[in-house]
Amino acid sequence: MTALTVRLPNSVHQKIRELAERDEISVNQFIASAVSEKMASVLTLDYLKAEAAQGKRSDFDHLLNLVPSVSAEAGDEMPKL
């Protein structure tokens, strides 16, 4: 495990302490969890962007053309603007 020094405003540090105490975990566990969540979010966005970049408009149009043209069922209508 690696030690890391992070400078935080006192107000942020105090709020982290309060939230960690509320969850009955240490400040270190709280921060490690928060960083892990942020990392997962960024990596997920990177993955989705990479997948989207591989998409082709022609494939989308082809699949959209396979959808039958029928009226929406009751309750599924688009709201009127």
Q: How confident is the model over 4-19, as pLDDT tens digits?
A: 999 999 999 999 999 9
Backbone angles phi and psi of 61, in degrees to 5 = -60, -40
d(CA 30, CA 13): 11
d(CA 61, CA 57): 6
Helix (H) or strand (E) holding 14: helix 10-22
Residue type, 65: N
User: What is the per-residue pLDDT across 12-69, written as a single tens digit (0 to 9) for each?
Assistant: 999 999 999 999 999 999 999 999 999 999 999 999 999 999 999 999 999 999 999 9
Residue recorded with tokens 């992070």:
6
Local confidence band at 81 (pLDDT 50, 70, 90 cut-offs): confident
